[in-house]
Structure 1
Amino acid sequence: MTRTAQDLLDAVAARLAPDPAANPLVPRFADGTAHRSAITALALEQRSVIPADRRSFLHLAERSAAAGESECAAVFRTLAEGETLAFERLGALVAACGVDKADADAYEPRAGCQAYPAYVAWLALNGTPVDVVLALTANFAAWGACCATLAQALPAHYGFSDEACAFFAFFAEPAPDLEQQALAAVRAGMDRGLDATGTALRHGKLLQRYEAMFWETLADPARDL
């Protein structure tokens, strides 16, 4: 039986799907038991994560285009545009946490939270574009699920407005255009004879582990000292 691009995307996503119960913080947001300070830390960490990821995606788009992989380039350009839109929504969340610009600028990011964008930057320099597309597509599904939970929990348990939660709602929304672009990129890669599932899985496992570190560090800031 011939494997299709959709089969490959589904297989990688299934292999990399995390156990939601293993997240040390998101379930506590869901039931309202997480401390409000964790929301503030999350928002401030994202002020560093989002711009870093955007630059990484732009570099991946440039690399892909230079290599003649236009389908991958389209995925990364869309991702970069998404980071721009997300950052525009982040300010309302930071403000709702009661943090002014001076305090936000003075915030010291935590290594455990910044390991994820550091690895995305590594992928931007070293990863084969189609492998990165596969790994990121699987990872974003997990991130989107976490954001969907927060988009519902913060208004219900912490009194945040819809505007303040727009950052999470943005990532929680389905992205059919991006999904189709990712499918086209994987299909084009397979047409070129590329079937690096193992490499994509290695990238994806590290991305998932670094994202887990993000939540673990927010749940227990002392672990990052």
Structure 2
Amino acid sequence: MTNPLVPLIDRGKADRAVLAALAREQRLVIAADRRSFRHLAQRAVEEPETAAFFALLAEGETLAAGHLEAFAAACGPDATGDHEPLAGCQAYPAYVAWLALNGAPADVLVALTANFAEWGGYCATVARALRDHYGFPDEACAFFDFFAEPSPELERRASAALRSARPDQERARRYGRLLQEYEGMFWRTLLQSA
């Protein structure tokens, strides 16, 4: 199983310390991904539709960062302040940064969109479980709600970019596979940290 933690959260069996670790690690992921998406938008300047897609992703990370603070506050004092990042959690944004520097923007776009459905499903499950089993208010679940809800604008921009770009499907598939493996590593590392 690539994600053993979300099913535990779904059943209300994950320790609150894991939720606090999730908030701490996501704070770093959000900041890193925002910079990576901005860089990809700049690199895609000759592909305006692709650049617009990555610019929208960067804006989304900014919105998500605001929602994340309410989640962290609901997790308690362990979710705030400095901490030593977990390498297994930070491998995902490190790879996104690598893609921002080395991957063709169109290939990266395909890889990321393939991973969004899985991430969105995890977020929907966590949001529901936080309400049902942990008593978190809506404001504290907004981070997960944000990613769980489909974004018609993001889908429109991705479709427009894919119509105008020429991704290398084999490279995009490889990038997507690695992103999913790093995503799984993120959740497994959180579970092991508790």
Identity among equivalent pairs (%): 62
Residue 14 of structure 1 is matched in structure 2 by none
How far off is 1:105 after superposition? 2.9
Deviations 1:155-188 (A, max 9, x none): 1001111111110000011111111111111111
- Residue 46 (structure 1) aligned with residue 26 (structure 2): yes
1:29 partnered with 2:5: no
The one-letter code matched in structure 2 to 1:85 is L
2:139 corresponding residue in structure 1: 163
Note the aligned Cα RMSD (angstroms).
1.3
Q: Is 1:128 paired with 2:92? A: no
**Which residue type is aligned with residue 20 of structure 2?**
T
Q: Distance in 1 between matches of 2:156 and 2:23?
A: 30
**SS state of the match for residue 89, structure 1?**
helix
| Gapped regions of structure 1 (runs ≥ 5) | 1-20
Match of 2:116 in 1: 140
AA aligned opposite 2:48: S
- How much has 1:195 moved relative to structure 2? 4.5
**TM-fit CA distance, 1:107:** 1.1
Which residues in structure 2 correspond to 1:57-96 (within 5 Å)?
57-65=37-45, 68-96=46-74
What corresponds to 2:170 in structure 1? 198
Q: What TM-score do the two structures reach when normalised by structure 2? A: 0.96
Number of matched pairs: 194
Choose 1 or 2 for highest CA Rg.
Answer: 1
